[in-house]
Structures are given as C-alpha cells and as structure tokens.
Amino acid sequence: MKEYDVVIIGGGVHGAGVLQAAVAAGHSALLIERKSLASGTSSKSSKLIHGGLRYLESAQFALVRESLRERSILLRIAPELVKLQAFYLPVYRDTRRRPWQLKIGLWMYALLGGFDSATRFGSVPKSDWIKLDGLQTKNLDAVIRYYDGQTDDAELTRAVVQSAIDLGGAEVAMPASFDQATLREDGVEIRYSAGGASVSCTARVLVNAAGPWAPHVAAQVDPPIFIPAVDLVQGTHIVIPFAVTAGIYYVESPTDGRAVFVMPWHGATLIGTTETPFNASPDQAHPLPEEEDYLLAVARHYFPALKSLTRADITQRFAGLRVLPAASQKAFDRSRETIFTADRDLRPRVLGIYGGKLTGWRAAAAHVMQRIASSLPHRPRRADTDQMILRRPLMNKNATFMLVPVLAMALLSGHARAEDYLSPTQERVRLTIGASRQSSTTNLQLDSSAGVQGTAVNAEDTFGLDKSDFEPKFQAMVRVGERHRLRFDYFSLDRTGNTTVLDPIIFRDVTLLPGDPLKTNLSLRMLGINYEYSILHSDRYEVAFTIGVNDTDISARGRVSTQARHVDQTEDQAGPLPTIGLDATYVLSKRFYFDARGQYLKIHVQNLDGSLGIYEVDGLYRLRPNISFGVGYNIVRADLDSTKSTESGFFNFSTKGPEVFVRVAF
C-alpha cells in the first residue's frame, strides 16, 4: 500500500493549493480528483482576485486585509494569469450608496491594502463617460474607478497543480473518486476508485478539499468525524455576445439591489452572480431560467444597447455552489471566512476546508499546513509558495509531455455534460488529421539554361499525371493567451504519370521526342507557419488576422529510358511564400461550428513573380467535447513566374477538393 504524507480530496483551487503547499514543505502528496481539475466551483466563480470591497460593510476587515495581501502576491507570482482590471462603480440618483460613502470604503480598502499602487481610486471625469461601453448615463451622478484582479479560475487551478508537479513529490490521481477513509492512531487508510479498480493508500493526514461535496466526503470517514453545518448557495453566471472593454462594472441589480459584476470575458461579457438557496446534490447545480432573467435585467438596465437582449442570446451559462456557514441570514450577508475543521486538535488526521475564496487559496493552504504540521514528519523545505511563479499550463516545460496523456484522455472521455463543452474559440490546442480528394491542374513551362523557350504544357494532359488523388491533411493550432494563435499546416501532393510523348517538348535542358516513353513525378510540399491575432473574439465567433510563411517545395522529374535514349531531368523550386489573410470561426450551437480561412499574397522579388492563395471552408460536428468530425472544401493556388535568364519559365498550379477530418481539441 502506497504511503503519503498528505492525501487531498478534490482538484479545485483549494486542493491544488494544499498539494502545492505540501510538496513545497518537502512532503509527499497525492491529490485525488474524480473528474478534472477545476471541474467544480473553481471554474464557475466570478473569476475575481479581489479584496472584497463589500465585505467592509459587514466589518470583515481581517478577510479584506488577507485577500488584498493575497491579491498583491498573486499579481506578482502569476502575472500571466492574474491581471489588474479597472472596476467602475456607477452611482445613479437612486443608487443605495452615495459617492462619498464609496470613497470612504475605498479609502479603507487602500488602508488595508497598505496603500500600494493597486489600491488607487478616483472619479471618472464626465467627459470620459463616453468611453464606458455605452453605460446608461441618464440620472448618472458619478462613476468611481478602482482596481482589483481578474483571472481565469480554471487555468489558475491547473497552473497551481502544475507548479506542484514541477517541484517534485506531487502525484495526481484523476479521474479517481474517494470512497472511504479509516482513521488509525497515526494516520488514515484511504480507499479510492480509479480506472474501475479499488486502490488503497495511507496518509499521515487526509485533507478534505471537496468544495460543496466536502460534507459528503467527511461522512465517509470511519469512525465519524465532526461535520460543520453549512448551506449551499447557487451562483449563476451568463456570457452574452457583447464586449465590454473598459473594465468591470460593479452595479446594483435593479431587481433587489444586490451587487452584480458585468465583466469582459474572452471578447464577450460575463455577468454574475445570483444567490439561490440550494438543497439538492451538488452534481445537480445548473443555471435556472429565473437566474438568467435576473442577470439579463442587469445588462438591459445598465447598457441601453442591450435592451432587446433575451435568453436566446446567452452563449454560455454556468452555476457554482458557495459553501456558507448555516444561518438564517440572507446568503449575501453571511461571513465569507473559510471554515477549517480537524478531527482532533493535536496531531489531526483529517482536516476539512469548507467555503473560502478563490483569492485566498494560497493563504488557506498555508493555514492547512500550519494546522497539520504536528502530524507530519520534519522534511527539508523545497520552496516557498509566495515565491513560486505560476504560468499558464501550456507554457510549462512539461507541456509537450502532458500533451500525449491529455490527448489520450480526450479520446477516451465518453460522457460529457453540456457545460464541459468548450467553445472552439476558446480551445488552446487543436490537432486536425484527415484526407482530401484533390483535383489538380498544373501548367508549366521550363526554358533551357541557354535561353531557349521551353514548351508550355499542361502536366495532367501532356505528362499523364493523375488529375485527382487522395492526400493527407495535417493542421495544428496552439493558442497563447486569449488572442494569439500559432497555426501549422502541412500539405503535400505526390503524383506520377506514365505516358508516351506525342509532340516534341523542351523541358529545361532536354528535348523529349515523339514516341519517348515518359515517366514523371510531380510533388509539392508546403509547411505553413502562421501567426494569428484575433481581432474579434467571443464564445460565438472569432475573426483572426493571419500572417504566414509557407515553406514550399516543388519538385518535377521527367525520365525517358529506352535502349537508345536515356533522359533524366529534375527541377526543384523551394522557398518561403508569405501570405496574409483572415481566419474565422462561427459557433452555431454546442455541436455545430464552422471554420473558414482565406490567405493570399502576391510578391515580386528580383526575377520572380509569385503568388500563393489558400482558401478553406469547413463545417464541424462535435462528437464529444474534445473530438469533432469535419467536412470541408479547400483550394490552393500557387503561381510562380521566373524571368531569371538561366532558369526562366512558369509554374501555375491549382488544386481543390473536398476533405474529411477529425479534430482533437482542448
């Protein structure tokens, strides 16, 4: 039976944080996650790394101070993942809090944040209101701006786990579901299921970081341990196809005055959240129509351009569950402090994390390590978590090695729920493999090196080259950040011909004579490396500007072999052909989406005129969240015209045809 210092249940941000803190402190640790990292609340939050301005009203000063400290640590150690955003507080004639009240709150916020530059605030001059994404200005008295952090919660969670793995000593069992734990005097015996088998291991300490499932996990411990009374409260977010760009709007709901955020999110707008009491199993959390209406009312009220917005316009929706101390108060007014419970004070064997904030994951993990230190052997520390730089997982050095198992998992993942479907415009890596039926036309003329004009021929008719054949298709795309993509395309065409020459043909430095048995090969290989920048980007559509270089290699070979004559003429042309163009994606529904791209450039360098055009349109059907089947049509046209005295001639080539392919993306 494998032995660990710490075993953690739950791959949300808290589980990830404890895994990282445990290995940083020199321990061995196993994280058990039943689905995928951040598949629970940690991908369904408002994605804010914030001090919690509104907690000042309920005098939760310690929480605000700790959150502001964590915010500044995260801005430093995770600059790729946590960005400072402008927050706007519009104050209308009927807004509950007056500008002076907000300014007092922000002043206290700055004080608790140590007056660092991120705690600056002020009023937006009236002349600048026009820049606020069409915000309603009727009865608007003031707009106050301050700053807080925004992140991608799921990416942050994955980055924390990756940092733990990079450090060494961390293991992740996933998908693997915790079943039961038995307490022994000096530790815990744990059973979990993975790959259809029951696996056992031991730990000095079991950390229950199962979020809303934590009470259920705690109930599987034998002998029974204390389970705090908690309530689950559902919070829903919606994404609408409208881009707010100035920053995050922190507004009062016109329905009940609760605070709601309207935020830029991957080229669209994320609006949240609600607070709906929840009594079912955490697996059943899903956005309710009335929650969506409540959030749409916020958008319509504050942004007149959205007055006709309906539920049909929502492109993405998700619901997460807050774990709050059980109480009769409204969820909005309850404490957001994390609850930690241990099975015993001295040398705890089980420690549970209930509630908490995305912002405070690192501090919560540090607190857990402090609470369980007496149960763990002393080990040499590997790192300090406030110094460990967090990167987007794809930029890590292990990314390439992770790609293979992730791809395999993607292929094997069978049962997906609606919210597991990632919009194609958000996919980070895409691999496309397929085949196309290409019909080609090749016209060429190769003059001799002595300047004698070659014979202009159509290679299909004159050389008997296959007019159509099957060719493979390969494409890969990697998205870096939200808007930058790199795309690689590989295209090849190999054709052979076997014919008898009918009329004399001057083919570079040889003359092919009538009656010559002629064998030809014509091959074209093209590797396109393209940088794409998304000029329009939302969950529903994406339009990217493309600039690419296509390394093109064309090789033509003609052979005549008779007893009397032996001719072997080879002609190679290779070089990079640049293109510019547009690449667009349109998402019709969760299952259907379309891709189209067009790239073209005509160049003139010294004695060469060249142009390359690549056009492609594809329709895709998503079979599984990560796997799509596509059909499409592509056209490639290359025209090269050389006037160089020793190698003049032209090569005009076009190929087009239908294609079928499979795309794996995540």
Ligand X SMILES: Cc1cc2nc3c(=O)[nH]c(=O)nc-3n(C[C@H](O)[C@H](O)[C@H](O)COP(=O)(O)OP(=O)(O)OC[C@H]3O[C@@H](n4cnc5c(N)ncnc54)[C@H](O)[C@@H]3O)c2cc1C
Q: By CB under 6 A, tell whether 610 contacts ligand X.
A: no
Tell me how far, at minimum, the Cβ of 274 lies from ligand X, in Å.
Answer: 8
Q: By CB under 6 A, tell whether 15 contacts ligand X.
A: yes
Tell me how far, at minimum, the Cβ of 177 lies from ligand X, in Å.
Answer: 4
Tell me how far, at minimum, the Cβ of 149 lies from ligand X, in Å.
Answer: 9
Tell me how far, at minimum, the Cβ of 417 lies from ligand X, in Å.
Answer: 12
Which span (44-52, 420-428, 444-452, 488-496) binds ligand X, by CB under 6 A? 44-52
Among 105, 235, 424, 528, binds ligand X (CB under 6 A): 235
Tell me how far, at minimum, the Cβ of 275 lies from ligand X, in Å.
Answer: 8
Q: How far separated are the first and last CA of the chain, in Å rounded?
A: 34
Binding residues for ligand X restricted to 257-276, rule: CB under 6 A: 273
Q: By CB under 6 A, tell whether 287 contacts ligand X.
A: no
Sketch the per residue contact string, 215 through 234, with ligand X: x for CB under 6 A, - otherwise: --x-----------------
Contact 600, 610 (CB under 8 A): no
Tell me how far, at minimum, the Cβ of 264 lies from ligand X, in Å.
Answer: 14
Which span (80-88, 118-126, 352-360, 387-395) binds ligand X, by CB under 6 A? 352-360
State the pairing for strand pair 29-32/170-173: parallel
Q: By CB under 6 A, tell whether 12 contacts ligand X.
A: yes
Among 113, 149, 169, 211, binds ligand X (CB under 6 A): 211
Tell me how far, at minimum, the Cβ of 666 lies from ligand X, in Å.
Answer: 17
User: CA 465, CA 22: separation in Å to the nearest integer?
Assistant: 66
Tell me how far, at minimum, the Cβ of 548 lies from ligand X, in Å.
Answer: 39
Tell me how far, at minimum, the Cβ of 143 lies from ligand X, in Å.
Answer: 22
Among 21, 27, 29, 41, binds ligand X (CB under 6 A): 41
**In the block, which residue shows the tokens 């060494």?**
168
Of 275 and 532, nearer to ligand X (C-beta) is: 275
Among 95, 163, 359, 440, binds ligand X (CB under 6 A): 359
Buried b (16+ CB within 10 A) or exposed e, 541-579: bbbbebebebebebebebebeeeeeebebebebeeebeb
Q: By CB under 6 A, tell whether 64 contacts ligand X.
A: no
Long-range contacts of 109-116 (CB under 8 A, 24+ apart): 109/51, 109/53, 109/56, 109/64, 109/68, 109/146, 112/51, 112/61, 112/64, 112/65, 112/68, 113/51, 113/65, 113/68, 113/69, 113/71, 113/72, 114/68, 116/72
Tell me how far, at minimum, the Cβ of 651 lies from ligand X, in Å.
Answer: 57
Among 5, 33, 343, 583, binds ligand X (CB under 6 A): 33
Q: How many other CB atoms are found less than 10 A from the CB of residue 148? A: 25
Q: By CB under 6 A, tell whether 317 contacts ligand X.
A: no
Q: By CB under 6 A, tell whether 29 contacts ligand X.
A: no
Which residues are 252's β-sheet partners? 259
Tell me how far, at minimum, the Cβ of 194 lies from ligand X, in Å.
Answer: 10
Residues 6+ apart with CB under 8 A from 563: none
Which span (46-54, 75-83, 126-134, 639-647) binds ligand X, by CB under 6 A? 46-54
Of 178 and 491, nearer to ligand X (C-beta) is: 178
Total chain residues near ligand X (CB under 6 A): 38
Which span (104-112, 317-325, 555-563, 588-596) binds ligand X, by CB under 6 A? 317-325
Contact 613, 640 (CB under 8 A): no
Tell me how far, at minimum, the Cβ of 357 lies from ligand X, in Å.
Answer: 3
State the pairing for strand pair 316-325/276-278: unpaired
State both tokens at 516. Answer: 């010559």
Contact 230, 324 (CB under 8 A): yes
User: Closest-CB residue for ligand X?
Assistant: 12
How far from chain centre, in Å, is Cα 39? Answer: 14
Amino acid type, 79: P
Which residues are 435's β-sheet partners? 472, 660
Contact 447, 453 (CB under 8 A): yes
Q: By CB under 6 A, tell whether 366 contacts ligand X.
A: no
Of 570, 288, 583, 286, which is closest to residue 430 (Cα–Cα)?
Answer: 583
Binding residues for ligand X restricted to 161-190, rule: CB under 6 A: 177-178
Which span (34-42, 182-190, 195-203, 222-230) binds ligand X, by CB under 6 A? 34-42
State yes or no: cis peptide before 273, omega within 30 of 0: yes
Apex CA 106: angle with CA 103 and CA 110, to 5°?
A: 135
Contact 258, 294 (CB under 8 A): no
Q: What are phi and psi of 2, to 5 degrees?
A: -75, 140
Which span (32-40, 371-379, 397-405, 601-609) binds ligand X, by CB under 6 A? 32-40
Binding residues (CB under 6 A) for ligand X: these are: 9-15, 32-35, 39-42, 44-48, 177-178, 209-213, 217, 235, 273, 320-322, 353, 356-359
